[in-house]
């Protein structure tokens, strides 16, 4: 089964993590919530605490099919400063593993120069971090192994794009019908 690692740092944007995680689980993905600092309890930017499944030290890189970086502050900053997170992103990029980031989180990929020359979406105030990317103005962008999105308001679209790239458009339509999205 495909393992999706959802990286959670203190101050993550709750909807940007939980909505895509839910949609991916409905499609059949093995979604693993990963605490990137301290214990398993991670409090989001709006005070909602989530219990992660594992800590970052427990990740099995070889099982990764996708790495997801939710935005939020200070979550994005903490992810971007964490050497284990950056190492995992580099590992995924070098092996063609999907890397998805929403809201402020694409700024991490931009600073790592992974989005250079690629189409991307990002929360507008973080666009300067994607200096060498092509910010298209679309809500969600998929370019090669990178899936990026503008922010919490497109959490469903972001999640559906992840389902599509991993399981196909039929899976997306089935989930949309089952959750009454249409």
Residue 103 annotated among the catalytic residues of the structure? yes
- Cross-strand partners of 55: 35
CA distance 169 to 161: 9
Choosing from 31, 97, 103, 171, which is the catalytic residue? 103
Cis check: omega of the bond before 147, within 30 degrees of 0: no
CA 18 to chain centre: 10
CA distance 61 to 77: 22
Active-site positions read 103
């Amino acid at each position: 089964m495909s393992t999706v690692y959802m990286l959670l740092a203190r101050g993550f944007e709750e909807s940007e993590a939980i909505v895509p995680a839910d949609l991916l689980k409905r499609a059949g993905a093995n979604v693993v919530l990963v605490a990137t600092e301290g214990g398993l309890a991670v409090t989001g930017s709006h005070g909602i605490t989530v219990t992660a499944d594992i800590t970052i030290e427990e990740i099995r890189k070889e099982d990764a099919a996708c790495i997801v970086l939710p935005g939020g502050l200070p979550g994005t900053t903490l992810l971007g400063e964490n050497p284990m997170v950056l190492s995992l992103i580099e590992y995924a990029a070098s092996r063609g593993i999907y890397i998805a980031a929403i809201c402020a989180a694409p700024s991490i990929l931009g600073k790592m120069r992974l989005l250079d020359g690629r189409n991307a979406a990002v929360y507008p105030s973080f666009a300067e971090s994607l200096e060498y990317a092509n910010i298209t103005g679309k809500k969600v962008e998929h370019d090669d192994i990178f899936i990026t999105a503008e922010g919490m308001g497109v959490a469903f679209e972001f999640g559906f794009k992840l389902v599509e790239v991993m399981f196909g458009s039929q899976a997306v339509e089935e989930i949309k019908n089952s959750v009454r999205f249409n």
